[in-house]
Amino acid sequence: MKKTPIFTGSCTAIITPFRADGSINYEKMGELLDLQIAGGTSAVVVSGTTGENATQPLDEHEELMKFCTAHCAGRMKVVVGVGSNDTMTSIRLARAAEACGADGILMVTPYYNRSNPAGLIQHFSYVADRCSVPMILYNVPSRTTVHLTPEIYKILSEHPNINGVKEASGDFSLVGRTRALCGDALNIWSGNDDNTVPMMALGAKGVISVASNIVPDVVAKLCALCLDGHFEEASALYFRYAELFAKLFVEVNPIPVKTAMNLMGMDVGPLRLPLFEMSKENEAKLVAAMKGVGLLK
C-alpha cells in the first residue's frame, strides 16, 4: 500500500514567538510563517517540541493551530503537534487540528508513563481511528526514552491514516530495516538536520528541521538536491553548515535556535520556563558557528 507523503522536502519545526508578558506574539508568528513560505519550505510543524508545546495549555494550543492553518491556507502545508502521554489529550488536539483544516498531525511517543510495544500500537491506532487527518509518528528516544522498532512500524504502517514517521533516533540501521519491512507504506522524514543527507539516501522524503527556522532556503535546497539524486552536491552543502547544525543543539532545543533568531534581530521573544537562556559559553560557540556561515558579522 503506497502512501503519498504529506509533504516532500523541508518542513520547519517552527518556534513559537512570545511577548515579554509570556503571551504568543501572533503578529510575529505571521511574519515567521511568511518567511518560511518565501524560503521554499514545504510545510511547518506547529506546536511541536521546537514550538515549546509542553508549556502550552490546550486552549492556547488550539488557538495557535487555528491561526497558523488560516494564515498558511493554500500556500504551505501545516502539520500540528498533538503528542501527549495522555491518549485522550491527543485525540482532543487531533480533532481540533482536523476541524481547522490542518494537513497532518505529528504524534510523539508517550513520554514519562511510557508503554510496552502493544500499548504504543494501541495509543497511535486509537487516535488514528478517530480522526481523518493523516498522522506522522515521532520517534525521539533521547527525549522520551521510548523506542519505536521496525516491527512496530510494520504494524502501524498498515493503518490507512498513519502516513509516516519523523525519525529522530539517529539509528540508520533502524531506518534501513524499517524501509525494508514497510516499503512505501510508511513515509520517513529525518528528525535531525545532521541526518538529512544519509536518511534521504535511504529513501526518506525530507526533513523536519530546526535549522530551517534561520536558514530555510538552505534546508530547502539541501532536500531538493537529495530528492533529485544529487547527493555529492548535497553533501558539500551539508558540510558547509554542519557546524551550525551541531551548535543549534549545544543546549536543549529550542534554546539555541531561539537565541540565534534573537541575535539575528528576528525578535522572537523569551523562552517559557523551565527552558531558560543559554550559558554565555555555549552562546559564544553558537555565535562562532553563525559567523562561519555569514549569519552574523
Q: What is the pLDDT of residues 62-73, one digit of tens each?
A: 999 999 999 999
CA separation (Å) from 189 to 73, 82, 115, 209, 297?
23, 17, 24, 10, 33
- If pLDDT is split at 50, 70 and 90, which confidence band does 1 have? confident
Residues 159 and 127 sit within 8 Å (Cβ to Cβ): no
User: Can you give the pTM of this predicted structure?
Assistant: 0.96
Catalytic residue among 3, 138, 153, 238: 138
Mean pLDDT throughout 249-253?
97
What percent of the chain is predicted at pLDDT more than 90? 96
221 is catalytic: no
| CATH superfamily of the 9-229 domain | Aldolase class I (3.20.20.70)
Mean pLDDT throughout 185-204?
98
- If pLDDT is split at 50, 70 and 90, which confidence band does 144 have? confident
pLDDT on residue 145: 87
Mean pLDDT throughout 202-213?
98
297 is catalytic: no
Return the sign of the alpha-carbon dihedral for residues 124, 130, 136, 142. Answer: negative
pLDDT on residue 151: 97
CA separation (Å) from 129 to 31, 135, 152?
35, 10, 17
Torsion of CA 197, 224, 247, 5, to 10 degrees: -80
pLDDT on residue 78: 98
* Residue 97 reports pLDDT greater than 90: yes
All structural domains of the chain with their residue ranges:
9-229
Catalytic residue among 3, 28, 77, 166: 166
Q: How many whole angstroms separate alpha carbon 119 and alpha carbon 126?
A: 10
**Summary mean pLDDT of the chain:** 97
Q: Which grid coordinates belong to 59?
A: 486552549
- If pLDDT is split at 50, 70 and 90, which confidence band does 170 have? very high
pLDDT on residue 185: 98
